[in-house]
Amino acid sequence: MTKYFNLDGNLIFESSEGNGWEEWVETEEGTLNCLIGDIKVDKDIDVTILSNLKARTGEPRYKSLAETRKYIESLPKWNKTKYYTKMTDIGSSGLVDSKTGDVIDSGFEYDLQPHLIIKNNNVSKKEQCAICGEQIQSKVPLALFLFDCYAHSVFRPVCDLCGEKYAPILAKMVSTYYDKKNIATEFKIQD
């Protein structure tokens, strides 16, 4: 079941498949386009971050912007955080008060860049990449992990492609380590 909330006129949804937000824009022909984005709740600084807006295909649920606004107004208020921020292609909304809609800090920018680290790993198992969800076999004894102090599991493994994309230098260090290790085993070098 999906639950819908109103965050200062923005529609937030929560479902078993994931959470996000929706926004509607009017096209030149006067029809409505639905955009859908990700949300992240940062409890430490009491902010909900609305980001990564993408066009969504599917039937338009509303005929006009006024209709969508009326619907959102009828929803329960999103009260999980005192503040929110919206980060889209146009830029950042700054830090906004969830209740009043007042901009508290116009220069506020949330860091959504994933932080990767090299960490020792003692079990090789099939897992999902923390960023793209791809199935991976984690390497022992060293691997790249996503560090997220707000997630249920602070260190989660990432795949090679995401490593190269978000932390190319660390990814190179890990691959060099395994290349050297392979050469060492091939020639049976003793340490």
Q: Which residues bind Zn ion (CB under 5 A)?
A: 129, 131-132, 134, 159, 162
For Zn ion, the closer of residues 132 and 184 by Cβ is 132
Min dist CB 134 to Zn ion, Å, is 5
Min dist CB 135 to Zn ion, Å, is 10
Count the helices and strands in the chain (H runs, E runs).
3, 14
For Zn ion, the closer of residues 96 and 144 by Cβ is 144
Burial of 102 (C-beta count, 10 Å sphere; 0-12/13-18/19+): exposed
Min dist CB 144 to Zn ion, Å, is 10
Q: If you ran DSSP here, which 8-state letter would residue 187 be given?
A: T
Min dist CB 155 to Zn ion, Å, is 15
For Zn ion, the closer of residues 75 and 142 by Cβ is 142
Round the CA-based radius of gyration of the chain to a whole number and report it: 22
Is the distance from CB of 49 to CB of 39 less than 8 angstroms? yes
